[in-house]
């Protein structure tokens, strides 16, 4: 009887979830926070219970994002979920239909704004026109999946935390709420709030549970990110006040889609001037570039990684860095296409420099974790490179070889996902060994392949993914981005391609120093022998490696999700810049 009842309830919950993506979005974001609240009532000595509970929360969140994936319609480029207003009720609309030949097509691409509303929108602070507005599309869904996925694995890796467990778990879950919120928020103010929500837990997680220089690292991280936030805040206010037109009675807004429409010149009578766009783009870009991080804003990263505990390094590399890239794709580019076009060359150059500079710096490191951190700088350079390869015909404003730019954009997105998997894996692998021997000096390892063969095999696989070996995730992102770059700039493409040699150099040299050789040369050898690679650790590594292989062999699995959204983004940016050029031409001719 009990089972039947349970099943019944399960079905009910399922139906409720399925029918109401509105609820689902909020649940995804706030479930970890709720978990954190519940954790407060636990006895602080019940460590295993709390860990299990927190793991369950992250796992459920992951399942919920999978449910969201079930709702997601990749053939619709716009934001989702889609509702139609019928009376007072909101009803999910299937705006695609099955054609006679079995293919699925959009039945109506022109969506009337009055009748149909995309996403969740509730009033929050009406006086300032701030809304609780959430939505997802092909750009945010993959990153959302990555976030909840890496969170589960990082939680699995959190068994190595050995003090103040309760506080750690609470902060961890709050951090997850912040991250998920960033990827779902569609209101600029709300985005900013989530952005900041994520910052504080991170500060404490590094500052309390970190290594010997944790205070230094935490403050460095905090100062850098805060500086970025302040710049972003200025840009937010510029957009907000620029979006109002009192004469027409249009109120100022934080709605990212509306702001993007204004930025792309699709709204009559309201525009962001060229100067505004350029200034705002620079502000936003610096804010996001710090997060990515790119040369020369990257020096917080090695310190933060070196001092952060393993699971936090995984989150930091796996998810937090992606917010920078996401911000550039979701906000900086759509809101100021003119600014983006203006800065495209700089962006690509910074990307190429980051790739080479990060790789060279990695080559010189003797701290294992620092090396992996610099490899992140190098790998994230590809993201910037891919986003920026927007070549423009200056007379018409049209993109030259738009498909190559589209490829670069897609490649950049894929690189973020791939790096999320591979770098989280690399940090985890470093953490496993650090937990045992309590040092990270590359010159004091060696022979681990003989002592811990399974661990070493998995580590080699994950490091190969970082190296960009075909068949593993790192290859697709890197090579697609590089291939798309030639169309933009031959020199920068060649520089970026040079990264393949250096990457092979530092990764293989590291593998040689750590895993190969006859004997382990450092301290605590006994712990290596007495403390074998356990099942929990193995499962984290195996899952990451499987994903690295799946993404590497069948990248369409992710490209399929993001294709339409990316195509429509690129199309609208192209059109937006052409609008700007057209209006500039009109003004010139009128003046004549």
Partner 1 sequence: MEDLGKQLSTLLMVAWLLPFFGFCIEVFGGYFKWRLTKTAAYIAVGCIGVGFLCSVVAFMQWGNATDWVVFESHEGEHHVSADHDEAAKSHDEHGAKHDEHAKEHEHGEEHADEHGEKAEGAHDSHGGHAKPAVQTAFSGQIYHLARFGELDISIDYYIDSLTLGMFMMVTLIATCIHVFAIGYMSDELTESYEDHFVHTSDGGHFKRPGRFYRFFSYMSLFCFSMLGLVLAGNIFQVFVFWELVGICSFLLIGFYVERKSASTAANKAFIVNRVGDFGFIIGLMILWTSCGTFRFDNYEDHHGHEQPGLFQMVRGNDGHVTQDGDAVVLKDVHGEPLTDASGSTKTIPYMLLVAAGLGVFCGCVGKSAQFPLQTWLPDAMEGPTPVSALVHSATMVAAGVYLAGRFFPMFLPEVLLTIAYVGCVTLFVAATIAVVATDIKRVLAYSTISQLGYMMLGIGVGGWGAGLFHLITHAFFKSLMFLCSGSVIHGCHHEQEMPKMGGLWKKMPVTAFTMLVGVIAIAGLAIPGTSIAFSGYHSKDAIVATALQFVDDNPVHILLFIVPLVTAGITAFYMFRLWFYTFAGQPRDAHVYEGCHESPSVMCGPLLVLAPFAAWCAIGGEHGKLFSILALSEPASTEVVHASHDIHTAAGSFALVAAILGTLTAYLLYGKTIVDPANIKRQFSGLHTFLVEKWRFDELYDVMFVRPSHVVGKWCAGVDKYIFDEFLHGVVRTGIRVSQWDRKFDEGIIDGLVNLVGNVTFSIGRSLHVFQTGNIRQYVMFIAVGVLMLFALLFAFSFAILA
- Interface residue list for partner 1 (CB under 8 A): 220, 223, 296, 298-299, 302, 357, 360-365, 401-404, 406-407, 410, 447, 449-450, 453, 464, 469-471, 475-476, 479-480, 482-483, 485-487, 493-494, 497-498, 500-502, 504-505, 508-509, 512, 515-519, 554-556, 559, 563, 567
Task: Show Cβ contacts of residue 84 under 8 Å, excluding neighbours closer than 6 positions.
Answer: 90, 91, 93, 115, 116
Give the residue with the Cβ less far from partner 1, 220 or 440: 220
| C-alpha span between 511 and 238 (Å, rounded) | 49
Closer of 282 and 485 to partner 1 (Cβ): 485
Tell me the closest approach of the beta carbon of residue 288 to partner 1, in angstroms. 18
Residue 439 or 563: the one with the smaller Cβ distance to partner 1 is 563
Q: Residue-wise over 305-336: b if at least 16 C-beta within 10 A, else e?
A: bbbbbbbbbbbbbbbbbbbbbbbbbbbbbbbb
What does the alpha-carbon distance between residue 374 and residue 339 come to, in Å, rounded to a whole number? 29
Pairing of strands 130-134, 120-125: antiparallel
Residues 6+ apart with CB under 8 A from 344: 388, 389, 390, 391, 392, 488
Residue closer to partner 1 by CB (options 71, 298) is 298
Classify residue 370 by its DSSP letter.
H
| Least CB distance to partner 1 at residue 308 (A) | 18
- Of 227, 225, 229, the C-alpha closest to 301 is 225
Q: Among residues 61 and 456, whose Cβ is nearest to partner 1?
A: 456
CB closer to partner 1, 236 vs 528: 528
Please list, in sequence order, all residues whose beta carbon lies within 8 angstroms of the beta carbon of residue 31, skipping any fewer than 6 positions away.
Answer: 57, 60, 61, 64
Question: Is the Cβ of residue 116 or residue 469 nearer to partner 1 in the bound state?
Answer: 469
Closest approach of partner 1 to the CB of residue 261, in Å = 23
- Residues 194 and 190: their CA atoms lie apart, in Å, by 6
Q: 21 or 555, CB closer to partner 1?
A: 555
| In the complex, minimum distance from the CB of residue 499 to partner 1, in angstroms, rounded to a whole number | 9
The nearest distance, CB 251 to partner 1, in angstroms, is: 38
Comparison of 453 and 532: residue with beta carbon closer to partner 1: 453
When the beta carbons of 45 and 213 are compared against partner 1, the nearer one is 213
Give the number of other CB atoms < 10 A from CB of residue 521. Answer: 14
**Alpha-carbon Rg of the chain, whole angstroms?**
24
- Cβ proximity to partner 1, 71 vs 402, nearer residue: 402
Contact assessment for residue 464 and residue 510, using Cβ atoms and an 8 Å cutoff = no
Residue whose entry in the numeric block shows the structure tokens 């040699």: 501
Closest separation between CB of residue 146 and partner 1, Å?
18
SS3 assignment for 266-298: CCCCCCCCHHHHHHHHHHHHHHHHHHCCCCCCC
Q: Do residues 134 and 186 lie in contact, with contact meaning Cβ atoms separated by under 8 Å?
A: yes
Least distance from C-beta 407 to partner 1, angstroms? 4
Closest distance between partner 1 and the C-beta of residue 138, in Å? 13
**Which CB atom, from 167 or from 401, has the smaller least distance to partner 1?**
401
Considering the complex, state which of residue 512 and residue 539 has its C-beta at the smaller distance from partner 1: 512
DSSP string, 551-585: HHH-THHHHHHHHHHHHHHHHHHHHHHHHHHHHHH
Min dist. Cβ of residue 498 to partner 1 (A): 6
- Which bin fits 36, alpha (ψ -120 to 50), beta or left (φ > 0)? alpha
The 3-state DSSP class for residue 439 equals coil
Spatial CA neighbour of 154 closest among 187, 121, 197, 201: 201
Nearer to partner 1, 56 or 364 (CB): 364
- Give the residue among 235, 240, 242, 227 at the shortest CA–CA distance from 278: 235
In the complex, minimum distance from the CB of residue 178 to partner 1, in angstroms, rounded to a whole number: 25
State the Cα–Cα distance between residues 59 and 62, nearest whole angstrom. 5
* Alpha-helical regions (H) of 389-523: 402-437, 448-451, 453-467, 473-485, 490-497, 499-514
Counts for the chain of helices (H) and strands (E), in that order: 24, 7
Structure token digits, residue 22: 């509105």
């Amino acid at each position: 009887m009990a089972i039947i009842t349970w099943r019944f309830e399960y079905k009910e919950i399922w139906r409720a979830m399925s029918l109401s993506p509105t609820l689902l979005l909020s649940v995804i974001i706030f479930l970890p926070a709720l978990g954190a609240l519940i954790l407060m009532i636990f006895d602080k000595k019940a460590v295993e219970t709390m860990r299990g509970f927190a793991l369950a929360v992250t796992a459920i969140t992951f399942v919920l994002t999978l449910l969201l994936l079930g709702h997601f319609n990749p053939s619709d480029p716009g934001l989702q979920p889609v509702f139609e207003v019928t009376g007072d009720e909101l009803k999910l609309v299937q705006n695609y239909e099955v054609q006679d030949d079995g293919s699925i097509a959009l039945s109506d691409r022109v969506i009337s704004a009055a009748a149909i509303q995309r996403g969740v929108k509730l009033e929050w602070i009406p006086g300032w026109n701030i809304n609780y507005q959430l939505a997802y599309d092909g750009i945010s869904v993959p990153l959302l999946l990555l976030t909840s996925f890496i969170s589960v694995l990082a939680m699995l890796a959190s068994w190595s935390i050995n003090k103040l467990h309760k506080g750690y778990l609470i902060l961890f879950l709050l951090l997850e709420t912040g991250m998920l919120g960033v990827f779902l928020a569609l209101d600029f103010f709300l985005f900013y709030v989530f952005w900041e929500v994520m910052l504080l837990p991170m500060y404490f997680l590094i500052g309390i549970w970190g290594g010997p220089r944790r205070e230094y690292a935490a403050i460095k991280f905090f100062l850098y990110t805060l500086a970025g936030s302040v710049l972003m805040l200025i840009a937010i206010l510029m957009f907000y006040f620029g979006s109002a037109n009192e004469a027409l009675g249009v109120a100022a807004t934080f709605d990212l889609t509306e702001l993007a429409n204004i930025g792309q010149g699709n709204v009559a009578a309201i525009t962001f001037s060229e100067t505004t766009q350029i200034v705002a783009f620079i502000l936003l870009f610096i804010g996001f570039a710090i997060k990515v991080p790119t040369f020369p804003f990257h020096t917080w990263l090695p310190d933060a990684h070196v001092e952060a505990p393993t699971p936090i390094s995984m989150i930091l590399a796996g998810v937090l860095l992606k917010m920078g890239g996401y911000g550039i794709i979701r906000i900086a580019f759509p809101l100021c296409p003119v600014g983006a076009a203006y800065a495209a060359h700089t962006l690509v150059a910074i990307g190429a420099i980051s790739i080479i500079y990060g790789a060279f710096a990695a080559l010189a490191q003797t701290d294992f974790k620092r090396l992996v951190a610099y490899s992140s700088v190098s790998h994230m350079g590809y993201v910037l490179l891919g986003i920026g390869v927007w070549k423009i015909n200056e007379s018409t404003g049209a993109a030259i070889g738009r498909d190559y730019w589209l490829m670069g954009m897609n490649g950049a997105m894929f690189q973020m996902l791939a790096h999320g998997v591979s770098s989280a894996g690399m940090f985890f692998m470093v953490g496993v060994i650090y937990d045992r021997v309590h040092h990270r000096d590359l010159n004091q390892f060696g022979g681990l392949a003989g002592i811990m063969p399974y661990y070493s095999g998995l580590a080699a696989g994950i490091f190969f993914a970082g190296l960009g070996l075909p068949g593993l995730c790192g290859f697709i992102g890197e090579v697609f981005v590089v291939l798309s770059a030639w169309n933009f700039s031959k020199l920068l493409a060649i520089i970026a391609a040079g990264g393949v040699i250096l990457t092979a150099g530092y990764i293989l040299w590291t593998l040689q120093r750590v895993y190969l050789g006859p004997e382990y040369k450092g301290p605590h050898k006994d712990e290596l022998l007495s403390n074998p690679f356990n099942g929990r650790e193995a499962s984290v590594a195996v899952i990451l490696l499987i994903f690295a292989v799946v993404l590497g062999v069948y990248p369409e699995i992710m490209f399929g999700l993001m294709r339409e959204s990316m195509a429509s983004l690129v199309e609208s940016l192209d059109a937006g810049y052409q609008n700007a050029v057209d209006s500039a031409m009109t003004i010139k001719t009128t003046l004549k």
